[in-house]
Amino acid sequence: MIRKIGIGLAGFGTVGAGVYKNLLRNGSLLEQRLGVKFDVRRIAVRDLQKVRDVDAPAELFTTSPDDLLLDSSIDVVVELMGGIDIPLAFVKKAIHSGKIVVTGNKALLAEHGREIFELAHEKRVPVFYEAAVAGGIPIIKSVREAFVGNRFEAIHGILNGTSNYILTRMTEEGADFAPVLADAQRLGYAEADPALDVNGWDAAHKAIILASLAYGFWINPSDVLVEGIEKVTAADIRFANELNYRIKLLASIKADEVGEIEVRVVPALIPKSHVLASVNGVFNAVAVRGDVVGDALFYGRGAGQDPTSSSVLADLAEAAAFLESPRACIGFTSHDLYGRCKPIDQTISKYYLRLGVEDRPGVLAQIAGTLARADIGILSVIQPEGLVVGAVPLILTLHDAPYGPMKKTADELASLPCVKGTPLLLHMEAFS
């Protein structure tokens, strides 16, 4: 007899509705492959009167997430509510009640992963979260299982489709940020409030989860350098192209030789020759380097109803396997192979620096002198004709330097009388 597994959906927005729709669509396929039938028994929503794109029987709906926890026929709860405080309370109650948790809430895990998994270990209740990072790309399972025999040397990713879409349009059309963002909102690729997408924090939450999973301890968000794409201009993209680079919002996760971890999410110059430079539009990609496997690349849609619900279905399959045969792994394994996060100011990179300067003799010497006093070397100089905020543009690429001294020096340059406007400092990723 096919075993039935009771499901409670907490949230019936884009992804929650997609999970319900695709469980109906591919329910028989899942039965054939897994030998179980998933049965949605309760759905918690904020507003019972809201018109929804996906229909479900009215008797399934409730406005109280606790109803899912009190229902003894529900084995697995799927948290897709969004936000942090209410989902955190719900997930902790679910673990206490012994119900397996599936969540796609990246902000919740990035901010509270440590306490969630400490409780999960204590209660021996698994928490699965494939949908929290990169939509339909199976990167969580790959890092946790397929690459379990590897030490991770680096993980680089384009983890936010909205920012990638905007930068792609800016690159292809020579357009500036503001009009492309407005168009992305009109087309539905960006939210009415796009802050988390364009300021880097959506991608940063995902990077924190990946880094924590790869290196065995939960990364504190305060240890992550996060910058958005709002200050990148069409001119910067053009100058990067002349230097044979593309600008992408890039998550970089690295371990050094002494086990210190570096995590940053910033608009960065990527060599055109690197595969991530060709990831365009709303697509995501994650490049993993392990000491045994070498380089591996994952590519696909990082958001949307169907790709994300596909990952939720994969987690439901994991939950079914756990119910059939409980095991030690509950979604996160801590270990002490790595030490700590490297302080942001000590992280090292090459840099792109765009200045607007007065067009007169001696200006380049002043700037070069300021950099030299900070022991920062110049790789290249571009000074094209034209005006930028009443000044001529000066583009410098700079040798490897710690971020703290580099940022301080950029601020010093901004205070020089010959420098007009606000400098733009971007990382240049070497992937070495």
- Note whether 5 and 296 are within 8 A (CB): no
* Tokens standing for residue 128: 């699965």
Q: Is 248 a catalytic residue?
A: no
* Tokens standing for residue 194: 């796009």
* Tokens standing for residue 87: 């989902």
The sign of the CA dihedral 45, 47, 48, 52 is negative
Helix (H) or strand (E) holding 265: strand 261-271
| DSSP 8-state code for residue 341 | B
Alpha carbon separation from 264 to 125, 209, 384, 416 (Å, rounded): 31, 13, 31, 29
- Note whether 217 and 394 are within 8 A (CB): no
Burial bucket for residue 265 (CB in 10 Å: 0-12, 13-18, 19+): buried
- All residues at 6 or more sequence positions from 102 whose CB lies less than 8 Å from its CB, including other chains: 76, 77, 78, 79, 127, 128, 129, 131, 312, 315, 316, 319
Helix (H) or strand (E) holding 353: strand 348-357
Q: Whose CA is closest to 206, among 266, 265, 144?
A: 265
Separation CA 270–CA 430 (nearest Å): 7
- Note whether 128 and 117 are within 8 A (CB): no
The sign of the CA dihedral 188, 191, 192, 195 is negative
Residue 176: other Cβ atoms inside 10 A: 14
Residue 28: other Cβ atoms inside 10 A: 10
Catalytic residue among 50, 99, 123, 206: 206
Q: Whose CA is closest to 140, among 304, 374, 396, 331?
A: 331
- Supply the residues annotated as catalytic: 206
